[in-house]
């Protein structure tokens, strides 16, 4: 996954609480597990005026002019400002996939649903929890005539809006380390590739029969780290 150290981006304010994962990416789009192709269907039932189905050409679909992401001033937004309990509902990982592919890298809200929060970290998104008064203040700035842009420094754990004072945020140290270094669960495992290789070689040397499957002559498939 892509590392995130410092991010400067346009803010899109989604002024709704309890946005669930079915609103983020509706159930009919969950047939694929390719981790791609979901960005065009992000918030599908709110962005479009018709019913969406997989494989549709979204460029030809009628758009809801009242939905925030369809406004000209928010095109290219990469920071999503939301309300309480964002990402509630089912635990579908397609939700952060859709947000990331659309172009979001940072999400800011007073609270996130727990499973959604962890899925964001695992997919390279930075979910930032701020006290509600600070989120209210950011919504007020986002409503100003000039679109709001934020500078997020993950290493320093700060958010800066224009000439304003930095806003500090908390983050789990392990999640911070993973984002700064672009490490998902697989990449974290492969950091131990040498140890894994050494263990397997030693284990097979002491138990050579494990190199073959239950059927004679069927060998165990080679692991990526044994190449």
Tens digit of each residue's pLDDT (9 = 90 or more) over 44-69: 999 999 999 998 999 999 999 999 99
Q: Are residues 171 and 208 in the same domain?
A: no
Q: Are residues 21 and 126 in the same domain?
A: yes
pLDDT score at 218: 46
pLDDT one-digit tens code per residue, 134-149: 999 999 999 999 999 9
Nearest-5° Cα angle at 195, 194 to 197 = 65
Are the C-beta atoms of residues 2 and 182 closer than 8 Å to each other? Answer: yes
Q: For residues 205 and 118, which has the higher predicted lDDT (pLDDT)?
A: 118
The pair of three-digit structure tokens given for residue 120, joined into one six-digit string: 């964001």
**For range 188-215, the mean pLDDT:** 76
In which region does residue 117 sit, left (phi positive, over 0), alpha (psi from -120 to 50) or beta (all else)?
alpha
Are the C-beta atoms of residues 36 and 101 closer than 8 Å to each other? Answer: yes
The pair of three-digit structure tokens given for residue 49, joined into one six-digit string: 């005026």
Q: Are residues 120 and 177 in the same domain?
A: yes
Q: Are residues 77 and 150 in the same domain?
A: yes
Q: Are residues 74 and 126 in the same domain?
A: yes
Q: Are residues 86 and 176 in the same domain?
A: yes
Residue 1 belongs to a domain: no
pLDDT one-digit tens code per residue, 109-128: 999 999 999 999 999 999 99
How far CA 7 is from CA of 26, 196, 211, in Å, comes to 28, 35, 48
Residue with tokens 């006290």: 131
Q: Are residues 58 and 103 in the same domain?
A: yes
**For range 173-188, the mean pLDDT:** 91
Whole-prediction pTM? 0.85
- What is the pLDDT of the chain when averaged over all its residues? 90
Q: Are residues 215 and 146 in the same domain?
A: no
Residue 18 belongs to a domain: yes
**How far apart (Å, rounded) are the C-alpha atoms in residues 98 and 104?**
9
Q: For residues 172 and 212, which has the higher predicted lDDT (pLDDT)?
A: 172
Helix and strand numbers, DSSP H then E, in the chain: 8, 7
pLDDT score at 189: 80
Are the C-beta atoms of residues 20 and 77 closer than 8 Å to each other? Answer: no
**How far apart (Å, rounded) are the C-alpha atoms in residues 176 and 5?**
9
Q: Are residues 218 and 125 in the same domain?
A: no
Q: For 146, which DSSP code?
A: S
The pair of three-digit structure tokens given for residue 208, joined into one six-digit string: 């050579």
**Structural domain boundaries, residue 61:** 6-182
Q: Are residues 31 and 108 in the same domain?
A: yes
Residue 187 belongs to a domain: no
pLDDT score at 219: 46
**How far apart (Å, rounded) are the C-alpha atoms in residues 63 and 48?**
4
Query: Looking at the DSSP assignment, which residues form a beta bridge with residue 167?
Result: 159
Q: Are residues 106 and 202 in the same domain?
A: no
pLDDT one-digit tens code per residue, 65-93: 999 999 999 999 999 999 999 999 999 99
Residue 205 belongs to a domain: yes
The pair of three-digit structure tokens given for residue 103, joined into one six-digit string: 């172009």
**For range 98-107, the mean pLDDT:** 97
In the chain, how many domains are there? 2
> What is the CB neighbour count within 10 angstroms for residue 27?
11
**For range 198-205, the mean pLDDT:** 82
**For range 202-225, the mean pLDDT:** 62
CATH of the domain at 142: 3.20.19.10
Q: Are residues 77 and 139 in the same domain?
A: yes
C-alpha radius of gyration, the chain, whole number: 22
**How far apart (Å, rounded) are the C-alpha atoms in residues 35 and 169?**
29
Question: Quick one: which of 176, 132, 174, 141 has its CA closest to 156?
Answer: 176
């Amino acid at each position: 996954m892509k590392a995130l150290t410092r991010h400067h981006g346009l803010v899109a304010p989604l002024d709704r609480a309890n946005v669930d994962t079915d609103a983020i990416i509706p159930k009919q789009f969950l047939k694929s597990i390719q981790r791609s192709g979901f960005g065009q269907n992000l918030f599908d039932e709110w962005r479009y005026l018709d019913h969406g189905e997989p494989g549709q050409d979204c460029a030809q679909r009628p758009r809801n002019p009242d939905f925030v992401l369809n406004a000209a001033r928010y095109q290219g937004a990469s920071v999503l400002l939301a309300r309480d309990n964002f990402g509630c509902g089912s635990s579908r990982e397609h939700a952060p996939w859709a947000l990331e592919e659309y172009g979001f890298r940072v999400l800011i809200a007073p609270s996130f649903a727990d499973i959604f929060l962890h899925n964001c970290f695992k997919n390279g998104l930075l979910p930032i929890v701020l006290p509600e008064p600070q989120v209210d203040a950011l919504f007020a700035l986002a409503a100003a005539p000039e679109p709001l842009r934020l500078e997020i420094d993950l290493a320093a754990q700060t958010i800066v809006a224009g000439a304003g004072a930095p806003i500090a945020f908390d983050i789990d140290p392990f999640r911070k380390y993973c984002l700064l270094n672009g490490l998902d669960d697989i990449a974290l495992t492969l950091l131990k590739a040498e140890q894994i290789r050494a263990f397997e070689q030693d284990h097979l040397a002491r138990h050579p029969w494990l190199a073959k499957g239950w059927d004679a002559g069927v060998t165990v498939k080679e692991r990526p780290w044994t190449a």
